[in-house]
Amino acid sequence: MLPTDQYSPRIHDLLLLRAGIVSSAGVAKPAWVSYSPASNLWVVVRRAIAPDGLVAVGIRGINRQQRWGGFADVADVKERLRPSQLSLHMASRTRIVLPALAALVWLEEQLDKSELDWGPVGSVGFELATGQQVVTATSDLDLVLFTPTRFTRDTARDLWSFMSAAPSKVDVRVETPYCGFSLEEYAREGTEQVLVRLPASRILAEDPWAISVSEDKE
């Protein structure tokens, strides 16, 4: 857990809210959200610009299709977990036979001494943080790699060649200070531009690290 007064929420972080109150971001709250716990609610920080004092978050439902985004009060955050803080020791022993979790076991062993800022997100990250068994036999392993410093396409190819060798399908999202993009797409031979995700838009770019906030338009 990270102290709430020393760390600002970052995309993909998992937050535990004391009151469990999430306000609408302009999209009507679906009926299934009403059945979520009123307190001690786990949410994930999403890619959106939030008003002062608030953080953009997403709520997971029981089903894969149940996802809803809103805003939470930063003062309501009880705990924060970064993807890099999530590891297999947090999982139930009976769960590591699932392909996505088995792939994480393999990657943790291979990257034990690595200085990469990486970790599981998606259903695997959510299960490790909350203890809620949401990973299924068909779940992919979603990973995030935080890279404030630019790396070359050759480096991307080496990384993707290694990470994609895990014993289950993996999807790696690279996060720069301003945007996110697919490691697989960036590493692909002959691809000059990649689709980068910004808080309010998606654009094609040759160099994701050269993207600035000013280029994000509604």
Active site residue ranges: 140, 142
Of 131, 104, 102, the residue nearest 119 (C-alpha): 104
Radius of gyration in angstroms for the set of CA atoms belonging to the chain, rounded to a whole number: 17
Beta strand ranges found along the chain (DSSP E): 14-17, 23-24, 41-45, 54-60, 67-73, 77-81, 117-121, 141-146, 170-175, 180-182, 194-197, 202-205
Q: In terms of C-beta density within 10 A (0-12 exposed, 13-18 middle, 19 or more buried), how is residue 152 classed?
A: exposed
CA distances from 188 to 10, 127, 154, 184, 201 (A): 27, 31, 10, 6, 23
